[in-house]
C-alpha cells in the first residue's frame, strides 16, 4: 500500500542501483544528513520527484524537551548556502495556514526571519547590522483565505523584486511515523504545496518563477487508512500529540537556518532580539 509522502528519501527507498540516482549519508553534530541526487529524467519519473538535489536532515524530535533549535541549525545553514547564489536579494515565503497547527510551520518561520530589503546600507551601519543581505519575507496564506494561489502571489512578487532566489517553507507529509517532527527536507527542485495530503496546488519551481527555488519542509502529518470495512475509503491524516510545540520549534529551527545562511555574521540569538 502506497501512502502519501513528500519526502524524497522515502520515495527513493529500495531504488539502489537505479541509474541517475545517487545517495550518501553523513553525520554532523548529531544530525544525520542524507544527500540524494536525481540526475536522470527516467529516474525522476520512476521515483516521482523532479531532478535535483535533496537533503534530508534527521535529528531529535522537535517536540522533545532535549531539542534545542539554536544549537544544531548550522548544518541546515551550510546546505542553504551551498544551494543559494552568493549575491542578490532573496525572497522567503512561509506557506500554509497559520490557523491550522500542523500547517503552520511556514507562517511561523516567516515571522522569525529577518527582513532587510528596506534597510539601507547607512541605516544598517548605524544599527550595527552591516553588512546585510537583502531579504524579503512573506506569508501569503492559503487560497481559501485570500482567493489567491500562493504560487501566483510569489510569482507576482518575483516580477517586481527580481530576487536571485526564492526560499519556500512548508509543512509536509511522511509515510513513516518515526520521521514526523524530526526530519527536515531541503531541495532545489521546487515544491508542490499540499501534495502530501492530496490537495495539490500549482508547483512552485524555477520554471514557474523564473529564478532559483529552494524548498524547506518538515513532515507534521501521516496518512491513515482504516482497516474497518465500514470506514474503508475514508482518508485521514494523523499528527503528533505535541504538535503545538513541534511546529513552534521546527519554525525556530528553520528560521535560524535561513537567518544563518543569509546573515552569517549575525547569530540567530542576536537576530531574535530584534523581534
- The predicted-structure confidence for 94-117, as pLDDT tens digits, reads as follows 999 999 999 999 999 999 999 999
Write out pLDDT tens, residues 63-101. 887 777 667 899 999 999 999 999 999 999 999 999 999
The HSE-up count of residue 20 (CA atoms within 13 Å, CB side) is 14
Q: What is the model's pLDDT at position 275? A: 60
d(CA 100, CA 230): 28
Grid-cell match 487560497, residue found: 143
CA torsion sign, 62 to 65 to 67 to 69? positive
Task: Return the beta strands (E) in 160-210 as ranges.
Answer: 165-174, 183-187
Query: Contact, 246 vs 240, CB < 8 A?
Result: yes
d(CA 198, CA 178): 21
In a domain, 269, yes or no: no
Q: Tell me the C-alpha distance between 222 and 197, whole Å.
A: 8
Report the pLDDT value the prediction gives residue 271, as an integer from 0 to 100: 72
Which pLDDT score, from 0 to 100, does residue 228 have?
57
Domain membership flag for residue 2: no
Query: Pick from 78, 81, 21: which is nearest to 53 by CA?
Result: 21
Q: Is residue 252 part of a domain?
A: yes
Task: Give the rounded percent of residues in the chain with a pLDDT score beyond 70.
Answer: 87
122 in a structural domain: yes
Identify the H or E element spanning 36.
strand 31-38
pTM score of the predicted model: 0.90
Task: Flag whether 274 is in a domain.
Answer: no
* Distance of alpha carbon 23 from the chain centroid: 20
Nearest to 253 by CA among 61, 109, 66, 97: 109
DSSP SS3 for 215: strand
> Could you tell me if residue 273 is inside a domain?
no
The CATH number of whichever domain residue 95 belongs to comes to: 3.40.50.1450
Q: Is residue 136 part of a domain?
A: yes
- Domain range for 58 is 8-260
Note the pLDDT of residue 213: 97
Kindly state whether residue 212 falls inside one of the protein's structural domains. Answer: yes
Q: How many domains does the chain have?
A: 1
User: CA-based angle 184:82:94, to the nearest 5?
Assistant: 45
pLDDT tens figures, 232-246: 556 788 999 999 999
Q: What is the pLDDT of residue 160?
A: 95
Question: 2 Cβ partners below 8 Å, 6+ apart?
Answer: none
**Are 23 and 39 within 8 A, CB to CB?**
no
Q: Which residues of the chain have pLDDT under 50?
A: 196
Amino acid at each position: 500500500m502506497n501512502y502519501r509522502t513528500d519526502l524524497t528519501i522515502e520515495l527513493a527507498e529500495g531504488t539502489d542501483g537505479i541509474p541517475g540516482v545517487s545517495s550518501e549519508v553523513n553525520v554532523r553534530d548529531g544530525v544525520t544528513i542524507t544527500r540524494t541526487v536525481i540526475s536522470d529524467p527516467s529516474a525522476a519519473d520512476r521515483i516521482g520527484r523532479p531532478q535535483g538535489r535533496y537533503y534530508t536532515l534527521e535529528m531529535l524530535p522537535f517536540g522533545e524537551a532535549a531539542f534545542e533549535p539554536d544549537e544544531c541549525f548550522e548544518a541546515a545553514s551550510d546546505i542553504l548556502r551551498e544551494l543559494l547564489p552568493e549575491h542578490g536579494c532573496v525572497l522567503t515565503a512561509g506557506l500554509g495556514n497559520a490557523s491550522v497547527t500542523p500547517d503552520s510551520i511556514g507562517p511561523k518561520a516567516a515571522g522569525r526571519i529577518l527582513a532587510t530589503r528596506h534597510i539601507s546600507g547607512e541605516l544598517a551601519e548605524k544599527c550595527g547590522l552591516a553588512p546585510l543581505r537583502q531579504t524579503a519575507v512573506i506569508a501569503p496564506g492559503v487560497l481559501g483565505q485570500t482567493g489567491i494561489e500562493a504560487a501566483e502571489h510569489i510569482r507576482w512578487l518575483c516580477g517586481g523584486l527580481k530576487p536571485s532566489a526564492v526560499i519556500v517553507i512548508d509543512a509536509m507529509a511522511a509515510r513513516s511515523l518515526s520521521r514526523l517532527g524530526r526530519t527536515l527536507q531541503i531541495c532545489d527542485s521546487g515544491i508542490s504545496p499540499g501534495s502530501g495530503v492530496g490537495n495539490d496546488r500549482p508547483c512552485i519551481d524555477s520554471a514557474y518563477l523564473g529564478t532559483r527555488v529552494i524548498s524547506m519542509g518538515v513532515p507534521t502529518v501521516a496518512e491513515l487508512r482504516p482497516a474497518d470495512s465500514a470506514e474503508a475509503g475514508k482518508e485521514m491524516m494523523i499528527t503528533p500529540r505535541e504538535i503545538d510545540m513541534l511546529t513552534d520549534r521546527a519554525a525556530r529551527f528553520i528560521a535560524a537556518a535561513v537567518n544563518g545562511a543569509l546573515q552569517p555574521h549575525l547569530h540567530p540569538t542576536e537576530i531574535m532580539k530584534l523581534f
